[in-house]
C-alpha cells in the first residue's frame, strides 16, 4: 500500500474518532437534559425507559444513574431507587447535574425508609460536614442517635439544632421527651413549652406535659393537656387512658369510666393500652361495688394475658361471689342494705348495738354483750369496724381503730373485712385488744344469719 494512502487512512480514522467523540460530547448532555425534562414533567416511566437505554451504552454515566434513581423514586419504586443511589455512592463523582448535598439528602431518606439507621446516620454526618450551618442535618442525626440509645450524642445534636434554629419545634420536643425519660422534669417542661410556643399543634408535647403534670398531681392541668394531645391519632388511645387514670386519682370514678370506655371503643385491637384500660375500668367498677362488671373486665384481660398485673389474684379473690350470694351482698349492697347486714352480723355475736356510724369503705358499730355471765356485771363495749375493701387491711387501719378506741375509752376492738390483713397489721394487733376477722371467718358469719 502506498505511503500516501496509508497516511490518508490513518488521518481519516483519527478524524472519524474525533468526530464521534465530539458528537457524543454534544449529544449526550442533550439526552441527559431530555431525561431531566421528562423527570421534571412527572413523566417517570418515559424517563426510566430512556435512562436505562442510555445506561446500557454508558454504564458509568452517574448523572444517568441519578436521574434513573430519582425517576424510580417519583414512580414509587423506592427499592430500585436505592439500588441506583448505592451505585453512585460507591463509584460516582459529584459534578454537573449530580450535586452531593442533594444526593446525600435523598439517599439518607431512602435508608431511613428501609430501616437502615446506621447508613442513614453516616449520610447525615456527611451532610453536617458539607453544610455545618444547616440545622435539619443535626436534627436528623440527633433522631438517629436517639434511636440507637446514644442519648448524650442525641442531646448534643438537638441542642446544636436549636442553636442554629431556636424555633425548631421538633428539636425542642425531642429534648423535652429525653429529659422527661431521664426524670429531669423541670428541663423537660421548659423544652416542651417551647415546642408548643413555636407550634401549638405539637400534640406530642401536650402529651408529655400532661404526664409531667400528672406526676406532680396537678390533675386538672394534666386533664387539659391530655384533652389536647388526643387530637393526634397516634396518641388518642394513650391520652384517653391517661385521662381515665387522672379521674381515678381524684376519685371521680364515673368520669373515669367514661374515658376508659372511650379508650376501649376507639381501639381496633387488644394492644397494651386496652389491657390497661380494662384493668383500670375493673378498678372503677370494684370501687363502685359493681363486682360483676369488674369481673367481666378482669376476665377479658386474663384471656389475653394471664400474668397481667394482679388480675389472676382478683379473679381468685372474687370467685366465691358466683356461688356465695351472702358475700356478694356484703360487697355490693347499697349503703342502707349494707348497714342492715352489718347489724345482723353483730347479732350473730350475741351483741347489742349502741351506736352506728359510717367510716371509709364501711361502717363502725359500738356494741355490748347481750348477756353477761355474772348478774350486775358491767357490760364492756366493743368497737367493730366492718370493711369491704379489695386490698389487704394495712397496719395504718389497725392503728386507726386502736386510736379511735382510746379516744372513746373502749377497751375492745374488732375489724371485719372481706379481704384479709397484711403481716404488719397482724403483728400490730397481736399485742393489742384488736381482733381481726378475715374473709373466711366472715363467710362463716354470713352463713349463720
pLDDT at 19: 40
Identify whether the C-beta of residue 339 lies closer than 8 Å to the C-beta of residue 356: yes
Calculate ∠ Cα 425-429-435, nearest 5°.
110
pLDDT attached to residue 147: 96
> What pLDDT does residue 405 have?
97
- Would you state the pLDDT for residue 111? 96
The closest of 85, 87, 91 to 109, measured between CA atoms, is 85
Pairwise CA distance, residues 180 & 200, whole Å: 20
Cell reading at 371: 348477756
Name residue, grid cell 430501616: 115
Mapping DSSP onto H, E and C, the string for the chain reads: CCHHHHHHHHHHHHHHHHHHHHHHHHHHHHHHHHHHHHHHCCCHHHHHHHHHHHHHHCCCCHHHHHHHHHHHHHCCCHHHHHHHHHHHHHHCCCCCCCCHHHHHHHHHHHHHHCCCHHHHHHHHHHHHHHCCCCHHHHHHHHHHHHHCCCHHHHHHHHHHHHHHCCCCHHHHHHHHHHHHHCCCHHHHHHHHHHHHHHCCCCHHHHHHHHHHHHHCCCHHHHHHHHHHHCCCHHHHHHHHHHHHHHHHHCCCHHHHHHHHHHHHHCCCCCCHHHHHHHHHHHHHHHHCCCHHHHHHHHHHHHHHCCCCCCHHHHHHHCHHHHCCHHHHHHHHCCHHHHHHHHHHHHHCCCEEEEEEEEECCEEEEEEEECCCCCCCCCCCEEEEEEECCCCCECHHHHHHHHHHHHHCCCCEEEEEECCCECHHHHHHHHCCCEEEECHHHHHHHHHCC
* pLDDT at residue 91, rounded to an integer: 78
CA distance 161 to 133: 9
Query: Any idea which architecture 336-371+379-447 has in CATH?
Result: 3-Layer(aba) Sandwich (3.40)
Given CA atoms 403, 404, 407, 412 in this order, what sign does their dihedral have?
A: negative
**What ranges do the domains of the chain cover?**
336-371+379-447
Name residue, grid cell 455545618.
Answer: 132
Specify the pLDDT at position 252: 98
Predicted local confidence at residue 365, as pLDDT: 98
Q: Give the separation between CA 341 and CA 446, rounded to whole angstroms.
A: 9
C-alpha cell at 219: 390533675
pLDDT score recorded for residue 374 = 55
Chunked mean pLDDT (size 10), the chain, 449 residues? 55 47 46 80 86 86 88 91 90 80 95 96 97 98 97 98 98 98 97 98 98 98 98 97 98 98 90 95 94 95 95 87 86 92 95 94 94 64 94 95 96 96 97 96 93
What is the number of other CB atoms lying within 10 angstroms of the CB of residue 271?
12
Task: Please name the residues in contact with 70: beta carbons below 8 A apart, sequence gap of 6 or more.
Answer: 39, 81, 106
Q: Name the average pLDDT for the chain.
A: 90
pLDDT value of residue 344 = 96
Written as nine digits, the cell of 83 is 439500588
Nearest to 416 by CA among 389, 376, 377: 389
| Rounded CA separation 249/384 (Å) | 29
pLDDT computed for residue 376 by the predictor: 55
Q: Which residues contact 6 (CB under 8 A, 6 or more apart)?
A: none
Residue keyed to cell 355474772:
374
Between strands 351-359 and 362-369, the pairing is antiparallel
Exposure b/e, 65-81, CB count within 10 A at least 16 = b: bbbbbbbbbbbebeeeb
Amino acid at each position: 500500500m502506498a505511503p500516501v494512502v496509508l497516511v490518508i487512512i490513518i488521518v481519516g480514522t483519527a478524524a472519524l474518532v474525533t468526530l464521534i467523540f465530539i458528537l457524543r460530547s454534544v449529544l449526550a448532555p442533550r439526552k441527559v437534559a431530555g431525561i431531566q425534562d421528562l423527570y421534571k414533567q412527572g413523566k417517570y416511566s418515559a424517563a426510566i425507559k430512556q435512562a436505562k437505554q442510555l445506561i446500557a451504552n454508558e454504564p458509568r454515566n452517574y448523572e444517568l444513574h441519578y436521574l434513573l434513581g430519582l425517576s424510580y423514586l417519583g414512580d414509587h419504586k423506592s427499592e430500585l431507587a436505592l439500588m441506583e443511589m448505592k451505585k453512585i455512592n460507591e463509584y460516582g463523582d459529584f459534578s454537573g447535574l449530580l450535586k452531593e448535598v442533594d444526593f446525600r439528602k435523598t439517599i439518607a431518606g431512602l435508608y431511613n425508609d428501609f430501616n437502615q439507621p446506621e447508613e442513614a446516620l453516616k449520610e447525615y454526618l456527611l451532610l453536617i460536614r458539607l453544610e455545618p450551618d444547616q440545622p435539619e442535618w443535626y436534627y436528623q442525626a440527633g433522631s438517629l442517635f436517639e434511636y440507637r440509645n446514644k442519648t448524650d450524642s442525641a442531646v448534643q445534636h438537638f441542642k446544636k439544632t436549636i442553636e442554629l434554629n431556636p424555633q425548631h419545634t421538633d428539636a425542642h420536643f425531642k429534648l423535652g421527651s429525653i429529659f422527661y425519660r431521664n426524670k429531669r422534669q423541670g428541663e423537660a417542661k421548659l423544652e416542651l413549652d417551647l415546642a408548643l410556643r413555636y407550634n401549638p399543634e405539637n400534640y406530642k408535647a401536650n402529651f408529655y406535659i400532661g404526664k409531667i403534670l400528672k406526676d406532680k398531681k396537678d390533675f386538672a392541668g394534666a386533664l387539659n393537656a391530655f384533652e389536647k394531645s388526643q387530637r393526634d391519632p397516634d396518641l388518642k388511645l394513650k391520652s384517653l387512658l391517661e385521662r381515665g387514670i387522672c379521674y381515678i386519682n381524684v376519685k371521680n370514678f364515673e368520669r373515669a369510666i367514661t374515658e376508659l370506655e372511650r379508650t376501649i371503643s376507639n381501639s381496633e385491637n387488644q394492644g397494651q393500652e386496652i389491657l390497661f384500660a380494662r384493668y383500670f375500668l375493673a378498678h372503677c367498677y370494684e370501687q363502685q361495688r359493681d363486682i360483676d362488671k369488674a369481673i367481666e373486665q378482669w376476665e377479658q384481660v386474663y384471656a389475653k394475658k394471664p400474668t397481667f398485673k394482679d388480675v389472676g389474684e382478683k379473679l381468685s379473690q372474687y370467685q366465691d361471689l358466683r356461688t356465695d350470694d351472702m358475700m356478694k351482698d356484703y360487697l355490693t349492697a347499697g349503703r342502707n342494705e349494707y348497714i342492715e347486714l352489718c347489724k345482723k352480723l353483730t347479732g350473730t355475736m350475741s351483741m347489742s348495738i349502741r351506736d352506728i356510724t359510717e367510716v371509709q369503705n364501711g361502717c363502725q358499730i359500738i356494741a355490748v354483750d347481750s348477756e353477761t355471765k355474772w348478774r350486775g356485771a358491767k357490760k364492756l363495749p366493743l368497737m367493730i369496724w366492718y370493711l369491704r375493701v379489695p386490698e389487704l387491711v394495712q397496719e395504718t387501719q389497725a392503728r386507726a381503730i386502736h386510736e379511735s378506741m382510746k379516744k372513746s375509752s373502749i377497751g375492745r376492738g374488732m375489724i371485719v373485712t372481706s379481704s384479709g390483713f397484711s403481716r404488719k397489721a397482724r403483728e400490730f394487733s397481736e399485742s393489742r385488744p384488736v381482733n381481726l376477722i378475715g374473709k373466711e371467718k366472715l363467710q362463716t358469719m354470713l352463713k349463720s344469719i
